[in-house]
Amino acid sequence: MKGSKHSGQPKEGYTVNDIKQLVKDKFSSDNFRRMVNGQEIQDNGPVKFAELKKFIHSNTAIYVRQRMNIGSDMESHNTILFALQDELREMSTQSIDSKCMICAEKKQCLKFCCKSIICTECFPNYFIQHRYKPTCLICHEVLVPETCFKTSQFIRSLVQLNKRLSHYI
Ligand SMILES: [Zn+2]
Ligand SMILES: [Zn+2]
């Protein structure tokens, strides 16, 4: 996939719509998904966007990706991370907010092996750090994707990606 780099300067006190407009101006389309720090910038409420803004400094890269049907290039890292955003909405979280083992805040969390509890916001970066392998924070066991994820397409893509990555380790 070819990539290109554009820079831009949002105005003071910018909102999620200014970011969208900036992307639209650069790429002459707004059919893009935008991501910063492993999290998607979407039509987040103002509170959520204010959280994300903390990660946007000068020279922060915002990754954009054209919306497309998930298909043959499903294996790339970027695609997996976007698919993960959708997958996180499918995954079952605990019914009451609990303390995330990464950010230590009480949030909507995913629970897996050995009471490992990670909030949906910390999950993407955790997942990248563990090379796209869901790893228990307590016993360090690598879990089979089926125990964590729901969608069979996502699991298949993940298995393919891990297979490809294992050639480089
Ligand atoms: Zn967290
Ligand atoms: Zn465990």
Report the range out of 2-11, 74-83, 89-98 with the highest average pLDDT.
89-98
State whether 121 and 160 are in the same domain.
yes
Q: What is the mean pLDDT of residues 70-96?
A: 78
- Tell me whether residue 28 is in a domain: yes
- Tell me whether residue 2 is in a domain: no
State whether 121 and 157 are in the same domain.
yes
Q: Which ligand is nearest to the CA of 110?
A: 1
Encode pLDDT of 13-72 as tens digits.
888 888 888 888 887 777 777 888 777 887 767 788 888 888 888 778 787 776 654 444
pLDDT surpassing 80 at residue 149: yes
pTM for this model (two decimals): 0.58
Domain that holds residue 160: 93-166
- Tell me whether residue 7 is in a domain: no
- Bridge partners of 111, per DSSP, are 117
Q: Number of structural domains, the chain?
A: 2
Burial class (CB in 10 A: 0-12, 13-18, 19+), 149: buried
pLDDT surpassing 60 at residue 73: no
Ligand 2 centroid to residue 130 C-alpha, Å:
14
State whether 162 and 100 are in the same domain.
yes
State whether 53 and 104 are in the same domain.
no
State whether 61 and 124 are in the same domain.
no
Q: Which ligand is nearest to the CA of 100?
A: 1
Q: What pLDDT is stored for residue 88 in this prediction?
A: 93
- Tell me whether residue 3 is in a domain: no
Q: Report residue 31 as tokens.
A: 């059919």
State whether 100 and 161 are in the same domain.
yes
State whether 103 and 159 are in the same domain.
yes
Interior CA angle at 87 toward 33 and 138, to 5°? 120
Give Dmax (Cα) for the chain: 48
- Tell me whether residue 75 is in a domain: no
DSSP per position, the chain: ---------PPTT--HHHHHHHHHHHHS---EEEEETTEEESS--HHHHHHHHTT--TT---EEEE---S-GGGGSHHHHHHHHHHHHHHSPBPSS-EE-TTT--EE-EEEEGGGEEEETTTHHHHHHHTTT--B-TTT-PBPPHHHH---HHHHHHHHHHHHHHHTT-
Q: What pLDDT is stored for residue 70 in this prediction?
A: 43
CB neighbours (10 Å) of residue 133?
14
Q: What is the mean pLDDT of residues 111-115?
A: 83
Q: What is the mean pLDDT of residues 3-11?
A: 81
Ligand 1 centroid to residue 127 C-alpha, Å:
12
Q: How confident is the model at residue 168 (pLDDT cuts 50, 70, 90)?
A: low
- Tell me whether residue 111 is in a domain: yes
State whether 55 and 106 are in the same domain.
no
- Tell me whether residue 71 is in a domain: no
Ligand 1 centroid to residue 122 C-alpha, Å:
4
pLDDT surpassing 90 at residue 122: yes
Ligand 1 centroid to residue 26 C-alpha, Å:
33
